[in-house]
Amino acid sequence: MYKGDLPPPEAHQRLKANPAAVLIDVRTQPEWTFVGVPQVDRLVRLSWQVYPTMDVNARFVEEVRALGLPPDAEVFCICRSGARSASAATALAQAGFTNAWNVSQGFEGDKDADGHRARVNGWKAAGLPWVQS
């Protein structure tokens, strides 16, 4: 099991406080392009699922290892709402990463009463830095 779930503001604070910590955005290329990405110094874009089939990326852990992170590195996984990132953090923990965290609520958070995201909770709704291409 991964280390735990952190709301976006706490994950952001930990990223700022620990220069060795990494945020892995596990969403897909279209999400990064059209929705935006967190604006942090140590952001890695690495999909947990491969677009458009959304099959799990069988090389995910191998690709994280290729980053050269030590097994005790503080690693935060983020997706749209916190579900894919929980799976990614679990896979990292099972592979020996002892400090893998899930960013609960994700980048866009839960849907509001009108079915829109990024208004109720999540990275964007918290007012944390992000950019869009």
CATH of the domain at 104: 3.40.250.10
Alpha helices of the chain — where are they, by DSSP H? 8-17, 29-35, 60-65, 83-94
C-alpha 48/C-alpha 56 separation (Å) is 6
- Residues 102-130: tens digit of each pLDDT: 999 999 999 999 999 999 999 999 999 99
Whether this prediction's pTM lies above 0.75 is answered by yes
Give me 76's structure tokens: 């935060």
Which residue range forms the structural domain that includes residue 121?
4-131
| Cβ pair 5, 85 in contact under 8 A | no
Instruction: Reduce the DSSP state of residue 72 to 3 states and report it.
Output: coil
Q: Which residues of 29-61 are buried (b: 16+ CB within 10 A; e: fewer)?
A: eebbeebbbbebeebeebbbbeeeeeeebeebb
Name the domain count of the chain: 1
pLDDT tens sequence across 21-61: 999 999 999 999 999 999 999 999 999 999 999 999 999 99
Burial class (CB in 10 A: 0-12, 13-18, 19+), 90: middle
